[in-house]
Copies of this chain bind each other. A is one copy, B any other.
Amino acid sequence: MSSASPFHGLSAFPATPANIDGRVDTEALGRLLERLCEAGVASIGLLGSTGIYAYLTREERLRAVKAAVECVAGRIPLIVGAGALRTDHAVGLARDAEAAGADALLLAPVSYTPLTQEEAYEHFLAVAKATKLPVCIYNNPGTTHFTFSRELLQRLSDIETIRAVKMPLPVDGDLPGELAALREKTDLAIGYSGDWGAADALLSGADAWYSVVGGLLPRTTLGLAKAAMAGDVDGARRLDKLFAPLWQTFKAFGSIRVVYMLLEHLSLARAELPRPLLPLKSADRQRVLEIVEPLIALEGGRKS
């Protein structure tokens, strides 16, 4: 357990290295996490979307959590994704994470049949009640296909252990307006995902950046996060510009496909995307490699 807030600053979301059958490589995962600890990120978001939680069995998710706790416990707060289609499964995953020593939960309203606002509320309530861990609401309609109303976020923020929300970038781009509205209605710590908008979000006063690139290039990402949180507009813009071409590939190919190919390029892990997801084609890989080279150099070179 770490006593620092898991919901403030740069939260790095690593991949979960696994083989083609969905068996997690706990050693490789440990290496990824060690790198994040050494860089000094504020928290780790294990088993987020990039961490392929949706594609792993309960057993493999528990193996990943245990390996992560062993690696990072007491050093950096560990947030664990507990999302599942069924409420009882999400409750089980939350209890697994707590028993294994996680510091916090990230909960996505995964859906197949579209959920009503009330159904999402009851789902969150059941999972929140199942453990003592603080919960971050995972709000990402692009993968969960659920849209939170402001009223629902307000109701959820009244549940004692629900402490934070991970927001998608606002469609209208009005970060200050959205932050003001959410702060008026809730007492949640408010963070953003969507790496390309994170500098703006932090400069606008957001509490956290839930970052995919932070799971891969933690030192450089932390530099950007710190500049933006310190209000250093020029410094943040300069780093943001260096990342921009990589983020274009995130948008073009999906960040998960880019991250999994780069794990191998960085000699961090051999990790398979869960099929049906496919590796990038050769020409696209080449494009990503050229784009990422300066960032790798900045990060401190390739491990080998």
Query: A-side interface residues toward B, CB under 8 Å?
Result: 20-22, 49, 54-55, 85-88, 109-110, 112-116, 118-120, 122-123, 126, 142-143, 145, 254, 256, 274-278
Contacts and interface: CB of A to CB of B under 8 A. Distances in A.
A54 B112 contact: yes
A275 B85 contact: no
**Interface SS of A by simple majority:** loop
Contacts of A110: 112
A112 B55 contact: yes
Contacts of A21: 88
Nearest to A20: B88
A284 B277 CA distance: 41
Copies of the protein in its oligomer: 2
Given A274-B86, A275-B86, A142 B114 contact: yes
A94 B164 CA distance: 41
B275 A115 contact: no
B120 A85 contact: no
A80 B122 CA distance: 31
B86 A120 contact: no
Given A22-B88, A86-B275, A119-B276, A254 B126 contact: no
B123 A276 contact: yes
Contacts of A112: 49, 54-55, 110, 143
A113 B143 contact: yes
B122 A275 contact: yes
Given A114-B143, A122-B276, 20 more contacts: A21-B88, A22-B86, A22-B88, A49-B112, A55-B112, A86-B274, A86-B276, A87-B275, A87-B276, A88-B275, A109-B276, A112-B143, A113-B254, A114-B142, A115-B276, A115-B277, A116-B278, A118-B278, A119-B278, A122-B275
Instruction: Give the most central of A54, A85, A143, A275: most B CB within 10 Å.
Output: A275
Contacts of A274: 85-86
A156 to B, nearest CB: 13
Nearest to A115: B276
10 contacts: A54-B112, A86-B276, A113-B277, A115-B276, A118-B278, A119-B277, A119-B278, A122-B278, A123-B276, A126-B275
A122 to B, nearest CB: 6
Q: Which 5 A-B pairs have the closest CB atoms?
A: A123-B276, A87-B275, A54-B112, A119-B276, A87-B276
A113 to B, nearest CB: 6
A249 to B, nearest CB: 14
Nearest to A123: B276
Contacts of A113: 49, 54, 143, 254, 256, 277
Contact of A85 (B20, B54, B86, B256): B54
Nearest to A146: B276
Given A113-B256, A254-B113, A85 B278 contact: no
Nearest to A142: B114
